[in-house]
Chain A
Protein backbone atom coordinates (compact mmCIF):
# COMPACT_ATOMS: atom_id res chain seq x y z
CA UNK A 1 0.00 0.00 0.00
CA UNK A 2 1.27 3.45 -0.77
CA UNK A 3 1.72 5.28 2.47
CA UNK A 4 0.94 8.91 1.81
CA UNK A 5 1.31 10.07 5.36
CA UNK A 6 5.10 9.69 5.38
CA UNK A 7 6.95 12.72 4.08
CA UNK A 8 9.68 11.91 1.59
CA UNK A 9 11.97 14.91 1.62
CA UNK A 10 14.33 15.57 -1.28
CA UNK A 11 12.86 12.83 -3.44
CA UNK A 12 12.20 15.14 -6.39
CA UNK A 13 15.77 16.25 -6.24
CA UNK A 14 17.08 12.68 -6.08
CA UNK A 15 15.11 11.73 -9.20
CA UNK A 16 16.18 14.88 -11.01
CA UNK A 17 19.79 14.17 -10.12
CA UNK A 18 19.56 10.57 -11.35
CA UNK A 19 18.19 11.72 -14.71
CA UNK A 20 21.72 12.45 -15.91
CA UNK A 21 23.76 9.48 -17.24
CA UNK A 22 27.13 10.91 -16.18
CA UNK A 23 25.91 11.30 -12.62
CA UNK A 24 24.55 7.75 -12.65
CA UNK A 25 27.94 6.54 -13.90
CA UNK A 26 29.68 8.43 -11.10
CA UNK A 27 27.39 6.77 -8.55
CA UNK A 28 27.99 3.35 -10.13
CA UNK A 29 31.74 3.88 -9.73
CA UNK A 30 31.36 4.90 -6.11
CA UNK A 31 29.15 1.90 -5.37
CA UNK A 32 32.15 -0.38 -5.99
CA UNK A 33 34.60 1.21 -3.58
CA UNK A 34 34.77 2.73 -0.11
CA UNK A 35 35.83 6.13 -1.41
CA UNK A 36 37.58 7.73 -4.37
CA UNK A 37 39.52 10.93 -4.85
CA UNK A 38 37.99 13.47 -7.22
CA UNK A 39 40.77 12.99 -9.78
CA UNK A 40 40.46 9.18 -9.71
CA UNK A 41 36.73 9.57 -10.12
CA UNK A 42 37.13 11.90 -13.11
CA UNK A 43 39.62 9.65 -14.90
CA UNK A 44 37.26 7.35 -16.86
CA UNK A 45 35.13 10.24 -18.09
CA UNK A 46 35.67 12.06 -21.35
CA UNK A 47 34.91 15.36 -19.66
CA UNK A 48 37.06 17.95 -17.97
CA UNK A 49 37.59 18.10 -14.23
CA UNK A 50 35.46 21.26 -13.72
CA UNK A 51 32.53 19.49 -15.41
CA UNK A 52 32.99 16.52 -13.05
CA UNK A 53 33.11 18.95 -10.12
CA UNK A 54 29.82 20.44 -11.31
CA UNK A 55 28.22 16.97 -11.32
CA UNK A 56 29.64 16.30 -7.86
CA UNK A 57 28.07 19.55 -6.62
CA UNK A 58 24.67 18.39 -7.90
CA UNK A 59 25.12 14.93 -6.37
CA UNK A 60 26.22 16.51 -3.10
CA UNK A 61 23.23 18.86 -3.02
CA UNK A 62 20.89 15.87 -3.42
CA UNK A 63 22.66 14.16 -0.52
CA UNK A 64 23.81 11.28 -2.74
CA UNK A 65 27.53 11.73 -2.00
CA UNK A 66 29.66 13.14 0.77
CA UNK A 67 33.02 14.84 0.25
CA UNK A 68 35.86 14.98 2.75
CA UNK A 69 38.97 17.07 2.30
CA UNK A 70 42.06 15.11 3.29
CA UNK A 71 45.24 17.12 2.86
CA UNK A 72 45.37 18.08 -0.81
CA UNK A 73 42.83 15.52 -2.02
CA UNK A 74 39.08 15.32 -1.65
CA UNK A 75 37.58 11.90 -0.95
CA UNK A 76 34.14 11.20 -2.38
CA UNK A 77 31.82 8.60 -0.87
CA UNK A 78 28.44 7.26 -1.84
CA UNK A 79 25.62 8.11 0.54
CA UNK A 80 22.96 5.49 -0.10
CA UNK A 81 20.11 6.73 2.07
CA UNK A 82 18.42 9.13 -0.40
CA UNK A 83 18.70 6.45 -3.09
CA UNK A 84 16.80 4.08 -0.85
CA UNK A 85 14.07 6.71 -0.47
CA UNK A 86 13.77 7.01 -4.24
CA UNK A 87 13.61 3.27 -4.82
CA UNK A 88 11.03 2.93 -2.03
CA UNK A 89 8.76 5.44 -3.76
CA UNK A 90 8.93 3.40 -6.98
CA UNK A 91 8.53 0.10 -5.17
CA UNK A 92 5.45 1.28 -3.26
CA UNK A 93 3.71 2.51 -6.41
CA UNK A 94 4.76 -0.53 -8.37
CA UNK A 95 3.34 -2.75 -5.64
CA UNK A 96 0.07 -0.87 -6.04
CA UNK A 97 -0.20 -0.73 -9.84
CA UNK A 98 1.48 -3.91 -11.01
CA UNK A 99 -1.13 -6.41 -9.70
CA UNK A 100 -3.92 -4.03 -10.79
CA UNK A 101 -2.58 -4.02 -14.36
CA UNK A 102 -2.28 -7.82 -14.28
CA UNK A 103 -5.98 -7.99 -13.43
CA UNK A 104 -6.72 -5.47 -16.20
CA UNK A 105 -4.91 -7.77 -18.67
CA UNK A 106 -6.93 -10.80 -17.49
CA UNK A 107 -10.19 -8.84 -17.67
CA UNK A 108 -9.55 -7.48 -21.20
CA UNK A 109 -8.44 -10.87 -22.51
CA UNK A 110 -11.58 -12.48 -21.11
CA UNK A 111 -13.70 -9.80 -22.83
CA UNK A 112 -11.83 -10.41 -26.10
CA UNK A 113 -12.47 -14.17 -25.87
CA UNK A 114 -16.17 -13.54 -25.17
CA UNK A 115 -16.46 -11.21 -28.16
CA UNK A 116 -14.80 -13.75 -30.45
CA UNK A 117 -17.10 -16.52 -29.20
CA UNK A 118 -20.16 -14.37 -29.92
CA UNK A 119 -18.88 -13.55 -33.42
CA UNK A 120 -18.24 -17.25 -34.15
CA UNK A 121 -21.76 -18.18 -33.14
CA UNK A 122 -23.24 -15.42 -35.33
CA UNK A 123 -21.28 -16.47 -38.41
CA UNK A 124 -23.68 -17.98 -40.98
CA UNK A 125 -22.86 -21.51 -42.13
Chain B
Protein backbone atom coordinates (compact mmCIF):
# COMPACT_ATOMS: atom_id res chain seq x y z
CA UNK B 1 0.00 0.00 0.00
CA UNK B 2 2.78 2.39 0.89
CA UNK B 3 3.87 3.70 -2.45
CA UNK B 4 5.97 6.47 -0.95
CA UNK B 5 8.56 6.06 1.76
CA UNK B 6 7.26 6.82 5.24
CA UNK B 7 7.93 10.35 6.30
CA UNK B 8 10.54 10.96 8.93
CA UNK B 9 9.00 13.46 11.32
CA UNK B 10 11.18 16.53 11.64
CA UNK B 11 10.23 16.86 15.28
CA UNK B 12 8.02 14.69 17.42
CA UNK B 13 4.57 16.13 17.90
CA UNK B 14 1.68 15.34 20.11
CA UNK B 15 -0.92 13.28 18.31
CA UNK B 16 1.41 11.91 15.69
CA UNK B 17 1.03 8.40 17.04
CA UNK B 18 -1.54 7.32 14.46
CA UNK B 19 -1.35 5.35 11.26
CA UNK B 20 0.59 7.91 9.25
CA UNK B 21 -0.07 10.45 6.55
CA UNK B 22 0.15 14.22 6.85
CA UNK B 23 -1.08 15.83 10.04
CA UNK B 24 -4.63 17.24 10.16
CA UNK B 25 -6.69 18.48 13.09
CA UNK B 26 -8.93 16.01 14.87
CA UNK B 27 -12.05 18.18 14.63
CA UNK B 28 -12.32 17.16 10.99
CA UNK B 29 -13.81 13.94 12.32
CA UNK B 30 -16.75 15.82 13.84
CA UNK B 31 -19.19 15.85 10.89
CA UNK B 32 -18.78 12.10 10.38
CA UNK B 33 -18.96 11.32 14.09
CA UNK B 34 -22.09 13.45 14.35
CA UNK B 35 -23.64 11.73 11.34
CA UNK B 36 -22.86 8.29 12.74
CA UNK B 37 -24.20 9.28 16.16
CA UNK B 38 -27.46 10.69 14.83
CA UNK B 39 -28.25 8.27 12.05
CA UNK B 40 -26.51 5.05 13.00
CA UNK B 41 -25.96 4.81 16.75
CA UNK B 42 -29.16 6.63 17.77
CA UNK B 43 -31.30 4.35 15.57
CA UNK B 44 -29.63 1.29 17.09
CA UNK B 45 -30.28 2.76 20.54
CA UNK B 46 -33.95 3.29 19.79
CA UNK B 47 -34.09 -0.21 18.38
CA UNK B 48 -32.84 -1.53 21.71
CA UNK B 49 -35.40 0.64 23.52
CA UNK B 50 -38.20 -0.61 21.29
CA UNK B 51 -37.25 -4.22 21.84
CA UNK B 52 -38.19 -3.90 25.52
CA UNK B 53 -41.28 -1.77 24.90
CA UNK B 54 -44.72 -2.93 23.96
CA UNK B 55 -47.20 -2.36 21.24
CA UNK B 56 -50.43 -0.63 22.21
CA UNK B 57 -53.38 -0.92 19.90
CA UNK B 58 -52.59 -1.21 16.21
CA UNK B 59 -49.33 0.63 15.83
CA UNK B 60 -48.73 2.74 18.93
CA UNK B 61 -45.76 2.02 21.12
CA UNK B 62 -45.52 2.44 24.88
CA UNK B 63 -41.96 2.76 26.15
CA UNK B 64 -41.30 0.68 29.22
CA UNK B 65 -39.02 -2.07 30.26
CA UNK B 66 -40.13 -5.63 29.97
CA UNK B 67 -38.75 -8.67 28.27
CA UNK B 68 -42.12 -9.84 26.99
CA UNK B 69 -41.01 -9.56 23.37
CA UNK B 70 -38.02 -11.76 24.01
CA UNK B 71 -39.97 -14.37 25.93
CA UNK B 72 -42.53 -14.35 23.10
CA UNK B 73 -39.65 -15.27 20.82
CA UNK B 74 -39.04 -18.43 22.81
CA UNK B 75 -41.58 -20.37 20.85
CA UNK B 76 -41.05 -23.43 18.67
CA UNK B 77 -42.37 -21.51 15.67
CA UNK B 78 -39.77 -18.76 15.96
CA UNK B 79 -37.09 -21.14 17.17
CA UNK B 80 -37.50 -23.05 13.93
CA UNK B 81 -37.11 -19.89 11.88
CA UNK B 82 -33.99 -18.85 13.80
CA UNK B 83 -32.44 -22.30 13.40
CA UNK B 84 -33.31 -22.33 9.72
CA UNK B 85 -31.59 -18.96 9.33
CA UNK B 86 -28.49 -20.11 11.21
CA UNK B 87 -28.40 -23.13 8.94
CA UNK B 88 -28.69 -20.93 5.86
CA UNK B 89 -25.87 -18.72 7.07
CA UNK B 90 -23.62 -21.62 8.12
CA UNK B 91 -24.19 -23.87 5.11
CA UNK B 92 -24.25 -20.88 2.78
CA UNK B 93 -20.90 -19.70 4.15
CA UNK B 94 -19.42 -23.18 3.78
CA UNK B 95 -20.64 -23.49 0.18
CA UNK B 96 -19.32 -20.03 -0.65
CA UNK B 97 -15.97 -21.00 0.84
CA UNK B 98 -15.82 -24.27 -1.10
CA UNK B 99 -16.65 -22.50 -4.35
CA UNK B 100 -14.63 -19.38 -3.67
CA UNK B 101 -11.38 -20.79 -2.31
CA UNK B 102 -10.19 -22.60 -5.46
CA UNK B 103 -11.00 -19.49 -7.48
CA UNK B 104 -8.98 -17.22 -5.19
CA UNK B 105 -6.20 -19.83 -5.19
CA UNK B 106 -6.09 -19.90 -8.96
CA UNK B 107 -5.94 -16.11 -9.27
CA UNK B 108 -3.26 -15.78 -6.59
CA UNK B 109 -1.04 -18.60 -7.81
CA UNK B 110 -1.44 -18.77 -11.56
CA UNK B 111 -3.58 -15.86 -12.66
CA UNK B 112 -1.81 -13.99 -15.45
CA UNK B 113 -3.72 -10.73 -15.70
CA UNK B 114 -4.41 -10.49 -12.01
CA UNK B 115 -5.86 -7.01 -12.00
CA UNK B 116 -8.37 -7.93 -14.70
CA UNK B 117 -9.29 -11.19 -12.95
CA UNK B 118 -9.84 -9.26 -9.73
CA UNK B 119 -11.86 -6.57 -11.43
CA UNK B 120 -14.10 -9.37 -12.72
CA UNK B 121 -14.67 -10.44 -9.11
CA UNK B 122 -15.23 -6.89 -7.86
CA UNK B 123 -17.73 -5.86 -10.54
CA UNK B 124 -20.49 -8.28 -9.49
CA UNK B 125 -20.05 -7.20 -5.88
CA UNK B 126 -20.75 -3.58 -6.83
CA UNK B 127 -23.57 -4.55 -9.19
CA UNK B 128 -27.17 -4.24 -8.09
CA UNK B 129 -27.95 -7.11 -5.75
CA UNK B 130 -31.58 -6.89 -6.79
CA UNK B 131 -30.80 -7.40 -10.46
CA UNK B 132 -28.31 -10.18 -9.76
CA UNK B 133 -30.97 -11.91 -7.68
CA UNK B 134 -33.82 -11.59 -10.11
CA UNK B 135 -31.59 -12.86 -12.92
CA UNK B 136 -31.93 -16.25 -11.23
CA UNK B 137 -35.68 -15.92 -11.52
CA UNK B 138 -35.06 -16.31 -15.25
CA UNK B 139 -32.28 -18.90 -15.01
CA UNK B 140 -34.22 -21.16 -12.67
CA UNK B 141 -37.45 -20.90 -14.63
CA UNK B 142 -38.38 -24.47 -15.65
CA UNK B 143 -38.89 -23.20 -19.21
CA UNK B 144 -35.41 -21.71 -19.51
CA UNK B 145 -32.46 -23.36 -21.22
CA UNK B 146 -30.66 -24.00 -17.89
CA UNK B 147 -32.67 -27.12 -17.29
CA UNK B 148 -32.36 -28.33 -20.88
CA UNK B 149 -28.60 -28.27 -20.38
CA UNK B 150 -28.83 -29.99 -17.00
CA UNK B 151 -31.16 -32.64 -18.39
CA UNK B 152 -28.80 -33.20 -21.28
CA UNK B 153 -26.02 -33.73 -18.73
CA UNK B 154 -28.38 -36.03 -16.81
CA UNK B 155 -28.10 -33.73 -13.81
CA UNK B 156 -31.79 -32.87 -13.63
CA UNK B 157 -34.98 -34.90 -13.78
CA UNK B 158 -37.99 -34.17 -15.94
CA UNK B 159 -39.66 -31.78 -13.55
CA UNK B 160 -37.00 -29.98 -11.59
CA UNK B 161 -38.42 -27.97 -8.74
CA UNK B 162 -35.88 -25.41 -7.73
CA UNK B 163 -37.44 -21.99 -8.09
CA UNK B 164 -39.48 -20.91 -5.07
CA UNK B 165 -37.87 -23.55 -2.87
CA UNK B 166 -35.08 -23.22 -0.33
CA UNK B 167 -32.67 -24.62 -2.96
CA UNK B 168 -33.14 -21.43 -4.94
CA UNK B 169 -32.47 -19.40 -1.80
CA UNK B 170 -29.17 -21.22 -1.26
CA UNK B 171 -28.14 -20.70 -4.88
CA UNK B 172 -29.07 -17.05 -4.53
CA UNK B 173 -27.09 -16.33 -1.36
CA UNK B 174 -24.00 -18.17 -2.58
CA UNK B 175 -24.17 -16.23 -5.82
CA UNK B 176 -24.76 -12.91 -4.07
CA UNK B 177 -21.90 -13.14 -1.59
CA UNK B 178 -19.26 -15.14 -3.48
CA UNK B 179 -17.13 -12.04 -4.28
CA UNK B 180 -16.95 -11.18 -0.57
CA UNK B 181 -15.37 -14.57 0.08
CA UNK B 182 -12.94 -14.57 -2.84
CA UNK B 183 -11.38 -11.15 -2.24
CA UNK B 184 -10.04 -11.58 1.32
CA UNK B 185 -8.79 -15.10 0.54
CA UNK B 186 -7.01 -13.71 -2.48
CA UNK B 187 -5.54 -10.90 -0.37
CA UNK B 188 -4.13 -13.50 2.04
CA UNK B 189 -2.80 -15.81 -0.66
CA UNK B 190 -1.28 -12.93 -2.58
CA UNK B 191 1.48 -12.71 0.02
CA UNK B 192 2.33 -16.40 -0.37
CA UNK B 193 5.74 -17.53 -1.45
CA UNK B 194 4.77 -20.35 -3.81
CA UNK B 195 8.29 -21.70 -3.95
CA UNK B 196 7.68 -22.94 -0.39
CA UNK B 197 4.92 -25.19 -1.66
CA UNK B 198 7.13 -26.49 -4.44
CA UNK B 199 9.99 -27.04 -2.01
CA UNK B 200 7.73 -28.99 0.33
CA UNK B 201 6.58 -31.16 -2.55
CA UNK B 202 10.16 -31.66 -3.71
CA UNK B 203 11.03 -32.82 -0.23
CA UNK B 204 8.39 -35.50 -0.47
CA UNK B 205 5.29 -33.91 0.97
CA UNK B 206 2.18 -34.85 -0.96
CA UNK B 207 0.13 -31.99 -2.38
CA UNK B 208 -2.43 -32.41 0.41
CA UNK B 209 0.19 -32.26 3.16
CA UNK B 210 1.89 -29.28 1.54
CA UNK B 211 -1.47 -27.57 1.30
CA UNK B 212 -2.29 -28.26 4.93
CA UNK B 213 1.09 -27.28 6.30
CA UNK B 214 1.89 -24.22 4.17
CA UNK B 215 -1.05 -22.84 2.24
CA UNK B 216 -3.78 -23.23 4.81
CA UNK B 217 -2.05 -21.42 7.71
CA UNK B 218 -1.32 -18.47 5.42
CA UNK B 219 -4.79 -18.45 3.90
CA UNK B 220 -6.36 -18.79 7.34
CA UNK B 221 -6.93 -15.10 8.10
CA UNK B 222 -8.43 -14.62 4.63
CA UNK B 223 -10.75 -17.57 5.09
CA UNK B 224 -11.89 -16.30 8.46
CA UNK B 225 -12.41 -12.74 7.19
CA UNK B 226 -14.29 -13.95 4.11
CA UNK B 227 -16.49 -16.23 6.18
CA UNK B 228 -17.35 -13.35 8.52
CA UNK B 229 -18.20 -11.04 5.63
CA UNK B 230 -20.47 -13.67 4.12
CA UNK B 231 -22.02 -15.12 7.27
CA UNK B 232 -23.31 -11.85 8.74
CA UNK B 233 -25.36 -10.61 5.79
CA UNK B 234 -26.74 -14.12 5.34
CA UNK B 235 -28.05 -13.92 8.91
CA UNK B 236 -30.23 -10.98 7.90
CA UNK B 237 -30.92 -12.10 4.35
CA UNK B 238 -34.12 -10.63 2.97
CA UNK B 239 -34.09 -10.44 -0.82
CA UNK B 240 -33.26 -13.99 -1.84
CA UNK B 241 -36.01 -15.67 0.23
CA UNK B 242 -38.58 -13.17 -1.05
CA UNK B 243 -37.62 -13.25 -4.73
CA UNK B 244 -36.18 -16.72 -5.29
CA UNK B 245 -37.88 -18.47 -2.38
CA UNK B 246 -41.22 -17.01 -3.39
CA UNK B 247 -41.67 -15.87 0.22
CA UNK B 248 -42.68 -19.44 1.07
CA UNK B 249 -39.85 -20.25 3.45
CA UNK B 250 -39.44 -17.59 6.11
CA UNK B 251 -36.03 -16.58 7.44
CA UNK B 252 -35.32 -14.11 10.24
CA UNK B 253 -34.84 -11.20 7.85
CA UNK B 254 -38.28 -11.76 6.37
CA UNK B 255 -39.81 -12.21 9.80
CA UNK B 256 -38.39 -8.85 10.86
CA UNK B 257 -39.59 -7.26 7.65
CA UNK B 258 -43.10 -8.60 8.24
CA UNK B 259 -43.25 -7.05 11.70
CA UNK B 260 -42.43 -3.68 10.22
CA UNK B 261 -44.44 -3.86 7.02
CA UNK B 262 -47.49 -6.06 7.59
CA UNK B 263 -48.30 -6.70 11.21
CA UNK B 264 -46.79 -3.44 12.45
CA UNK B 265 -45.60 -4.88 15.73
CA UNK B 266 -42.43 -2.84 15.78
CA UNK B 267 -41.32 -3.71 19.32
CA UNK B 268 -41.53 -7.43 18.55
CA UNK B 269 -39.63 -6.93 15.28
CA UNK B 270 -37.04 -4.90 17.19
CA UNK B 271 -36.53 -7.77 19.64
CA UNK B 272 -35.83 -10.09 16.69
CA UNK B 273 -33.35 -7.61 15.28
CA UNK B 274 -31.64 -7.45 18.68
CA UNK B 275 -31.19 -11.23 18.55
CA UNK B 276 -29.57 -10.88 15.13
CA UNK B 277 -27.28 -8.18 16.54
CA UNK B 278 -26.40 -10.44 19.47
CA UNK B 279 -25.43 -13.34 17.20
CA UNK B 280 -23.49 -10.95 15.00
CA UNK B 281 -21.62 -9.55 18.00
CA UNK B 282 -20.62 -13.02 19.15
CA UNK B 283 -19.34 -13.84 15.67
CA UNK B 284 -17.37 -10.59 15.42
CA UNK B 285 -15.83 -11.09 18.88
CA UNK B 286 -14.79 -14.61 17.89
CA UNK B 287 -13.23 -13.14 14.77
CA UNK B 288 -11.33 -10.48 16.73
CA UNK B 289 -10.01 -13.14 19.11
CA UNK B 290 -8.92 -15.37 16.25
CA UNK B 291 -7.15 -12.50 14.53
CA UNK B 292 -5.35 -11.27 17.62
CA UNK B 293 -4.27 -14.81 18.45
CA UNK B 294 -2.86 -15.43 14.99
CA UNK B 295 -1.09 -12.08 15.15
CA UNK B 296 0.50 -13.06 18.43
CA UNK B 297 1.55 -16.34 16.81
CA UNK B 298 3.09 -14.46 13.93
CA UNK B 299 5.14 -12.22 16.22
Q: A and B: partners?
A: no
B residues bordering A, Cβ < 8 Å? none
A residues bordering B, Cβ < 8 Å? none
